[in-house]
Chain A
């Protein structure tokens, strides 16, 4: 029991220290690096998927460059949409945290 009492006093001291110093978020740097990597790949992936779908449909319908070009553009649009969406999501989370 003595051991437990000692730990509880230590815990209280540690809690007081935390309140005094208001320890900063040290995870923010790593988290923002993660977000940057996330957004960059999102843009590329939809372009690749769009062009691949276009290429496959082209092979199917024998309309060589036409559908690839159309779906490439659609892929770019989808990529930009994805980026905007995830940026909005991050914004929401940040707002929620600040409150």
Chain B
């Protein structure tokens, strides 16, 4: 059972069962690891910004770097008009990053390897960006679906295609994060299983592979958080500055 590569993704209930109407609100291991990631972020940023010295300590340096990294990313992709949304994008980036990184620890659970988690995050972005677009531009925001210089005969077709491409944004955003995390963790587990089943004689090669894959997986964990945040910035840019 423990050799089953999909076993690590099982969600189970911790503590008593809580039902609110027809909704099951029990505390699961997924909720536990989300809480852990959120508290690690809070703790890390609290310690990092507590002593503001001119010559920063290592932890202060890292927390300042994460701030300036996200600030630069927003400035480069969405421009200065997206500055008010910095807290949201910073939170999103840190949450996804720390969920991925906490999931890399042995015996832990990767929250972002479940499509419902990533899809909810992506839907928040999608709905939020759409609302911001409508607040900022009113009904003019619908011009996003009507590109300039298209013959009138083709227009209905183009509008349908544009709407499909707009609706595909949350799907591609969530599927990317979920698929990368799940595939990576499954692969790690499969190679780990090879080490055990091949034993002392043949197990060294898959062991080397798992070490290499762990490095790759840490890279992917960072990269996916980065891609998630940068795409949020790009969508925000589309909503704030309405032109292609």
Contact = CB atoms under 8 A, between A and B. Distances in A.
User: Is the A/B pair a real complex?
Assistant: yes
A49 B180 contact: no
A37 B184 CA distance: 13
B176 A81 contact: no
B161 A34 contact: no
Q: Interface size class for chain A? A: 20 to 34
B160 A74 contact: yes
A41 interface: yes
A78 interface: yes
A38 B227 contact: yes
Chain A CB within 10 Å, residue with most, of B165, B169, B180:
B165
A68 interface: no
B18 interface: no
B223 A34 contact: yes
A13 interface: no
A69 interface: no
Contact of A45 (B54, B172, B226): B172
A77 to B, nearest CB: 5
Contacts of A71: 164
A82 B226 contact: no
B171 interface: yes
B227 A46 contact: no
Interface in B128-171: 157, 160-162, 164-165, 167-169, 171
Interface string A28-60: 001001100110011011101110010000000
Interface residues of B, number: 25
Contact of A46 (B165, B180, B222, B231): B165
B176 A46 contact: no
A79 B167 CA distance: 11
Contact of B219 (A30, A38, A77, A79): A30
Contact of B168 (A7, A33, A46): A46
B179 interface: yes
B176 A41 contact: yes
A50 B157 CA distance: 13
Interface in B200-244: 219, 222-224, 226-227, 231, 234
Given A44-B175, A49-B171, A81 B165 contact: yes
A75 B70 CA distance: 33
A76 to B, nearest CB: 10
B55 interface: yes
Contacts of A49: 164, 167-168, 171
B179 A41 contact: yes
Given A45-B172, A71-B164, A78-B161, 12 more contacts: A33-B219, A34-B227, A37-B180, A38-B176, A41-B175, A45-B169, A45-B171, A46-B168, A75-B164, A75-B168, A78-B168, A79-B165
Interface of B: 54-55, 157, 160-162, 164-165, 167-169, 171-172, 175-176, 179-180, 219, 222-224, 226-227, 231, 234
Question: Which A-B residue pairs are the 5 nearest by beta carbons?
Answer: A45-B172, A46-B168, A78-B165, A45-B171, A78-B164
11 contacts: A4-B54, A30-B222, A33-B219, A34-B226, A37-B180, A45-B175, A46-B165, A78-B161, A78-B164, A78-B165, A79-B165
